[in-house]
Structure 1
Amino acid sequence: MPAHRVAQIVGAFGIKGQVKLDVLTDFPDNIRKGARMRLDDRWLEIEDCFWQGNRCIVKFIEMTDRNQAESLQWSYLEMMEEDIELDEDEYLVEDLKGMAVIDSESKEKVGDVDDVLKYPAQDLLVVNGHLVPMVKQFIQRVDLKRREIHIRVIPGLLGDSDNGE
């Protein structure tokens, strides 16, 4: 299973080895007491954590003083995919890229997911240069095992064949 980058250490906090994290994941609830995070080739376990503004303050069991914390500034932390808890309708961006996009009405493949763009209102799938909102009105089903996303295609969503697109 692959690892996913979830945070960056941006500095030390206090004198007992706590670190300040910039959280890079859409699933910050996974950064919690008892969670394991990978730093380069070693694993760290969260002893305690709390939020201060938009930053997460974390105390790892393995870190005991400020000098250790300062030495890790700008390092990235990863979590294994199987350790990231997702709700039924939540997906990792990396899992969606490359998936086949299927018209749920005609059952025909209309393209592949080239990228996923993050926007405040919703994420957008990039399919053959067109943007498909990740909302229930368009996304009918995501099949991770078959690597397919079934969408409801409306006129103009993926370009119109009758106007040269």
Structure 2
Amino acid sequence: MLEVGQVTGTHGLNGVIQVYSHTRPAIGIAGYSYWWIGKNTHACRRFHVVRCWQHGKRILACLSGIDTVEDAEALRGWKIWVSREDVPVDNDEYLWCDLIGCSVADAKRGLLGKVVRLEEYGAQDILIVRTPPDAGEQGEWMIPFTQQIIGKVDLSAKRIEVCLPPGMEACFTSRY
């Protein structure tokens, strides 16, 4: 299961829910016919998405079996998941959740650390890589996830090989 959003509230009186989407673009969450909703993946329920649309800056959805504001209110704060099989990934694409925890190594500098999160910065996504506990200097690298820098991604080995160009030291933030 992949977490794709969270129920943040209700809209109107007919069971419409308001959703915070983790997908990019946010309306991408509308592309899934079924959502699993609950407090965690072990205590969730499958819902058919009858309709999902953008209303201003908010994402709204109608789910089968959720017909009243009380039904919708009961889902507030719960997370939304989709089945991994429902998420198409091309050969040169990666899900963020699969990259988190991967070791990152540079040919010249050796092991840089592990991916702790990713961030969006317009033109490309950024890997946030925390140095290992035994590193000489503790801190985090901000590494652009681009073809020029990312050499090889081996998800089965949980390893990413990078080739950092000169000047990338500026993308390292030391822990004080």
| TM-score, length-scaled by structure 2 | 0.72
Q: Residue 163 of structure 1 aligns with which residue? A: none
Q: Residue 68 of structure 2 aligns with which residue? A: 65
Q: Is the 8 A contact 1:101 1:111 kept in 2?
A: yes
Q: 1:11 aligns with which of 6, 9, 12?
A: 9
Q: Does 1:81 align with 2:84?
A: yes
Q: Does 1:141 align with 2:136?
A: no
3-state SS in 2 of match to 1:31? helix
Q: Residue 115 of structure 1 aligns with which residue? A: 116
Q: Is the 8 A contact 2:119 2:128 kept in 1?
A: no
1:94-113, CA deviations, whole angstroms, 9 ceiling, x for partnerless residues?
Answer: 2112212243x67x853332
Q: Is the 8 A contact 1:45 1:60 kept in 2?
A: yes
- Residue 138 of structure 1, CA deviation: 0.7
Larger strand fraction of residues: 2
1:44-101, CA deviations, whole angstroms, 9 ceiling, x for partnerless residues?
Answer: 1211111112321111112122221122222222223333333444323321122122
- Residue 38 of structure 1, CA deviation: 2.8
What amino acid maps onto 1:96 in structure 2?
L
3-state SS in 2 of match to 1:5? strand
3-state SS in 2 of match to 1:123? strand
Tell me, which stretches of 5 or more residues in structure 2 are unaligned? 132-139, 171-176
3-state SS in 1 of match to 2:73? helix
1:119-149, CA deviations, whole angstroms, 9 ceiling, x for partnerless residues?
Answer: 3223222332222111222112322223221
Q: Is the 8 A contact 2:38 2:75 kept in 1?
A: no
| TM-score, length-scaled by structure 1 | 0.76
3-state SS in 2 of match to 1:111? strand
Percent identical across equivalent pairs? 25
In 2: Cα distance, 1:150 partner to 1:95 partner: 15
Q: Is the 8 A contact 1:32 1:46 kept in 2?
A: no
Q: Residue 94 of structure 1 aligns with which residue? A: 97
Flag as ranges the 4+ runs of structure 1 deviating above 4 A: none
Q: Is the 8 A contact 1:12 1:19 kept in 2?
A: yes
In 2: Cα distance, 1:93 partner to 1:116 partner: 8
- Residue 158 of structure 1, CA deviation: 5.3
Tell me, which stretches of 5 or more residues in structure 1 are unaligned? 160-165
Q: For 1:43-58, list aligned pairs within 5 A.
A: 43-58=46-61
